[in-house]
Structure 1
Amino acid sequence: MSNTIDAALKAATSQLAASGSTSPAIDAAVLLCHALQKPRSYLFTWPDKTLDSAQQQSFDTLLERRVTGEPVAYIIGEREFWSLPLKVSPSTLIPRPDTERLVELALDKAADCAGDILDLGTGTGAIALALASELPQRRLVGVDLRGEAQALATENSKRLNLSNVTFLQGSWFEPITDGTKFALIVSNPPYIEESDPHLTQGDVRFEPISALVAKDNGLADIKTISDKARDYLQNGGWLLFEHGYDQGNAVRTILEQLGYSRVVTEKDYAGQDRVTLGQYQL
Structure 2
Amino acid sequence: MKTDVFPLNYFKNIWTSKQIIQQNNSFNWFQLIVVLLFLNGLMIIPVSLNYAKMETFSVQNTFPETFQMIDQTVVDNMKEAAFASGEMNLEESFRIQTDNGVVAAGLTEQEAAQTLQEDGSVLLFLKNELQLREKDQSVSIVPYTKEFDLTAATTIAEFQDAVSQQWFIKNQTFVIAAFSAILFALLLTELSLLVFGAAFFLYIASKNKQTSGRKPYKKSVATVLYAAGVPSIAAMVVGLIEFNVITMMTIQSVGLIGYIWFIYYHNRINEIKAQKAVKAQTT
Normalised TM-score (structure 2): 0.23
Q: Which has the higher contact order (CA 8 A, sep 6+)?
A: 2
Q: Which of the pair is proportionally richer in strand?
A: 1
Is the radius of gyration larger for structure 1 or structure 2? 2
Q: Which of the pair is proportionally richer in helix?
A: 2
